[in-house]
């Protein structure tokens, strides 16, 4: 069995955004020391609490990580295909081991204006993947 870690980038208890970033760095360091098999950072947008964007944060965390696989989740319906390709290419260039791109649709309450209607989200994801 392989065990990795997916770090939250949302830190509602942090008094200062730098504190949340430090917590993520400390957790990545601890996961590396513990010999975990992979490191991931999720994607989040339009949150009522402070959060850190996945691409710059993983770029920083890879300095602590080593050669084990690392990657990011991208909520593809919210990303322009060229931008996400550039982000992935840059992160993969920083990685000392395999880079893994995860993708998803995201979640929001039904009817939320932040997301596409539920019946359109799968189609939008498929279009982004095919690009």
Domain of 85, CATH number, reads 3.20.20.30
- Residue 63, both tokens: 């300095």
**Cα–Cα nearest to 61, from 34, 89, 95:** 95
* β 70-75/39-41 pair status: parallel
This prediction's pTM:
0.81
Domain count of the fold of the chain: 1
Give the pLDDT score at 35: 96
Segments of the chain scoring below 70 in pLDDT = 107-118, 131
State which residues form the domain around 75: 5-130
């Amino acid at each position: 069995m392989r065990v990795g870690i997916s770090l939250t980038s949302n830190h509602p208890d942090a008094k200062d955004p730098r504190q949340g970033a430090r917590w993520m760095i400390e957790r990545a360091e601890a996961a590396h020391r513990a010999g975990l098999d992979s490191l991931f950072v999720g994607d989040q947008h339009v949150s009522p609490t402070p959060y850190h964007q996945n691409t710059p944060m993983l770029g920083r965390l890879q300095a602590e990580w080593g050669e084990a696989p690392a990657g990011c989740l991208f909520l593809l319906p919210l990303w322009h295909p060229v931008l996400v390709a550039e982000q992935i290419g840059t992160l993969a260039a920083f990685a000392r081991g395999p880079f893994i791109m995860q993708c998803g649709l995201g979640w929001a309450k039904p009817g939320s204006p932040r997301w596409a209607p539920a019946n359109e989200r799968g189609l939008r994801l498929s279009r982004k993947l095919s690009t």
